[in-house]
Amino acid sequence: MGRFKVRKDDITWDHCTMVEPPNKTYLKCNYCGEKFHGGVYRMKHHLARTRKDAKLCSKVPDNVTALFDKMLKDKENEKAKQNDEMFDLGGNDEDNFIDVNAPRPPKRDHVGGGSVGNRGGNIDKIFSKKANQTTLNEHWKKEEREKAIRKIARFFYCNNIAFNVANDFFFKDMVQCLTKFGPRFKPPSYHELRVPLLKKEVAYVNDIMQDFRDK
């Protein structure tokens, strides 16, 4: 690869090479020799043989396939965990459940060296507040989902989009990517949709078509 730098922390580069350096999106598999656009993302799926966004590699060793399959699954699980944590309002800190307005427990009476307190009542109160907080979190999530799906539905209605699009793989994949990205996602502009993204998609489809022609 000469003077062109790649991410040393991504082991995918040990299994592929750039066809036209420094273009990191057009790669060649070191095992089967397949060339395609899409960068290391598609190369990972090619080597993991996931049938997602890339042709299966016919010559990759089983241990390499297992390695990339685990890598992709771990990444998916990590993103899903981060997404769940983003909506967790309650946290794990018990201080969140302390009622500052609650009356103080009665003083303990010492009888014969023993004590009679209200420990059981305090514990029950803490667990009760945790349960209430969990219910509030679930209610909040339900309300937020209702707002989100109504906006999606309005987009369908206003743009005369067929309802069966909701069952489309690419629609579900798009929604999943949006939820993983988080609230700071910036949607594509008119220009991005019309020029650079369109060109990339055309190149992507042409590459897939070429794969089938080469069979």
Tell me if 39 is assigned to some domain: yes
Its domain, for residue 55, covers: 11-86
pLDDT at res. 54: 83
Q: Where are the beta strands (DSSP E) in the chain?
A: 16-18, 26-29, 35-37, 109-111, 114-116
Tell me if 156 is assigned to some domain: no
Tell me if 34 is assigned to some domain: yes
Least Cα distance to 44 among 23, 24, 70 occurs for 70
Tell me if 131 is assigned to some domain: no
Structure tokens at 148: 């989100």
pLDDT at res. 129: 59
**Residue 51 near residue 37, CB atoms below 8 Å:** no
Number of domains in the chain: 1
**Residue 45 near residue 69, CB atoms below 8 Å:** no
Ranges in the chain, pLDDT < 70: 1-8, 82-136, 215
pLDDT at res. 12: 93
pLDDT at res. 55: 86
Tell me if 42 is assigned to some domain: yes
pLDDT at res. 90: 43
pLDDT at res. 84: 61
Q: What are phi and psi of 18, to 5 degrees?
A: -75, 135
**Residue 56 near residue 29, CB atoms below 8 Å:** no
pLDDT at res. 195: 93
**Residue 43 near residue 12, CB atoms below 8 Å:** yes
pLDDT by residue (tens digit) across 108-134? 544 444 444 455 556 665 556 566 666
Tell me if 50 is assigned to some domain: yes
3 state DSSP class of 36? strand
Tell me if 65 is assigned to some domain: yes
Tell me if 205 is assigned to some domain: no
Specify the pTM. 0.43
